Amino acid sequence: MSPQALDSIQTLCIGLALSGLLASAFELFTERRASFSLLEAGGVAALAALPVLAFSAPFIILRNTVRGRRIEGRPIPFVMLATMIACGWGLLSGRVALDLAALIVGA
């Protein structure tokens, strides 16, 4: 396996783990589930929810996709597409998290 592939896998794993951690921490501290409906509140609450949703979105997408498949019987191609979107988002989130960590450690 090439070093670039290993770096991408590591970045993806960190991004998905970070999204699950943030969504779980949000649920722990606020006693409500992290979801995209937080943006419907409007105003300062929606603005404060943006960073949390930006990094916890892969977890939210995957959670909703699995629930939708189990409860509503959504088709497999839909589940595959949603999983690819969540993994792409997780890859980007992981890259941002790793870059921020390198910036903090390097400073």
Instruction: Say whether pTM exceeds 0.85.
Output: yes
CA distance linking residue 17 with residue 91, whole number of Å:
11
Dihedrals φ, ψ of 76, to 5°?
Answer: -60, -40
pLDDT digits (tens, 9 = 90+) for 2-15: 999 999 999 999 99
pLDDT digits (tens, 9 = 90+) for 46-95: 888 899 999 999 999 999 999 999 999 889 999 999 999 999 999 999 99
